[in-house]
Amino acid sequence: MVKKEEMVVTPWEVRGKIDYEKLIEQFGIKPINKELLERIKKQTGELHYLLRRKIFFAHRDLDWLLDQYEKGNEFYLYTGRGPSGETHLGHLIPWVFTKWLQDKFNVELYFQITDDEKFLFKDNLSLNDTKTFAKSNILDIIALGFNPKKTHIFLNTEYSKTLYKEALRVSKHLTFSTVKAVFGFTNENNVGEIFFTSMQTVPAFLESVRKEKNVPCLIPLAVDQDSHFRITRDILPKLGYYKPAIIHSKFMPGLKGVGKMSSSDLSDTILTTDTEETVGWKISNAFTGQQPTKELQRKLGGNPDICSICQYYKFFFEPDDKKLDDIFRAEKEGTILAHEHKQDLTEKVNKFLKEHQKKREIAKGRIEEFMLRD
């Protein structure tokens, strides 16, 4: 018998079958309801498929942020990337959504690259390694088409003259016992790890520092990052700033099925730098949950909710709801067999990556348009 694995969702580890209802309760975050979706739609004219499909499923103070916006108090966006490896497709989900928000609301975006964090938390990575991954990840960010006039990307180790001073102000309000309680740290954690949340907090008020007036902040993120910002939200009012609003996404499932896509199991994920052959190979080994034989599949059908191919369409490769329905129905009714299903997805992914990789090449000459320097 397979033992059901316990669910763990922290910034350092995500495993087990994720129960999002339970996370809402555990984290004390709010589900995004119909009323809130209507309010967003009123401002944006349409709803992104990631909202329609409840892939962005929860929030903190998004209603407050919209109140402010309706009163003419514009907000800015903040998100980030921990450069522990090459970018995979799951990482792109919050970024694609962030770009949509930037376009719809025409607002500033701060994009923090935590090369310090990944050095501190990963035994096998040097500062040089995390910087190298950072530079590569930045190409993916730029390739998505963010507005260069309003997008500010920085590495923590490079933008440190500005960040360190602000992080100090945060850290003075943060005790070791709070960090222990929130993250489960022990006396064995290195002191850099203990300090780190102060660095991740700074961009949540950086625009207010730079503009010398309070500006509301919205942070799109994958839900594993929420605990950092529980701390942020406690501390910022003590420094005279607004608490940031947050919008949380689910994790794109890996090709092996359950859990989050993980950068450590490379055959579970598709990297933005993968070749066509690698993509074909990874998808051909994906989990579909189909019946053991063609005959049984035709007769009984499969389950799209556990089929990683169907989930790839839902999260990324089929924004059209009607077409997604057709794909799910075909899987359920057994009219599509695993190899056809995989073949179709392979074509879609490779088409996307071909374009994306072209844009990554172009991005190499555009980095400085986006970097925030001090």
Q: Which residues bind ligand TRP (CB under 6 A)?
A: 11, 79-82, 112, 114, 117, 200, 219, 221, 225
How far is the C-alpha of 10 from the C-alpha of 223, rounded, in Å? Answer: 9
Residues 307 and 287: beta-carbon distance below 8 Å: yes
Q: How far is the CB of 114 from ligand TRP (least distance, A)?
A: 5
With respect to ligand TRP, which residue has the nearer C-beta, 114 or 308?
A: 114
Q: How far is the CB of 125 from ligand TRP (least distance, A)?
A: 12
Q: How far is the CB of 79 from ligand TRP (least distance, A)?
A: 4
Q: How far is the CB of 112 from ligand TRP (least distance, A)?
A: 4
Q: How far is the CB of 81 from ligand TRP (least distance, A)?
A: 5
Other C-beta atoms closer than 10 Å to the C-beta of 68 total 17
How far is the C-alpha of 265 from the C-alpha of 261, rounded, in Å? Answer: 8
In the block, which residue shows the tokens 């599509």? 336
DSSP string, 147-207: -TTTEEEEETTTSHHHHHHHHHHHHTT--HHHHHHHH---TTS-HHHHHHHHHHHGGGTHH
Residue 24 CA: distances (Å) to CA of 19, 21, 58, 248: 9, 5, 7, 10
Interacting residues of 145 by C-beta distance below 8 A, sequence separation 6+? 99, 359
With respect to ligand TRP, which residue has the nearer C-beta, 154 or 316?
A: 154
With respect to ligand TRP, which residue has the nearer C-beta, 65 or 219?
A: 219
With respect to ligand TRP, which residue has the nearer C-beta, 235 or 286?
A: 235
Q: How far is the CB of 246 from ligand TRP (least distance, A)?
A: 9
Interacting residues of 348 by C-beta distance below 8 A, sequence separation 6+? 317
With respect to ligand TRP, which residue has the nearer C-beta, 272 or 346?
A: 272
With respect to ligand TRP, which residue has the nearer C-beta, 11 or 304?
A: 11
CA 217 to chain centroid, in Å, comes to: 17
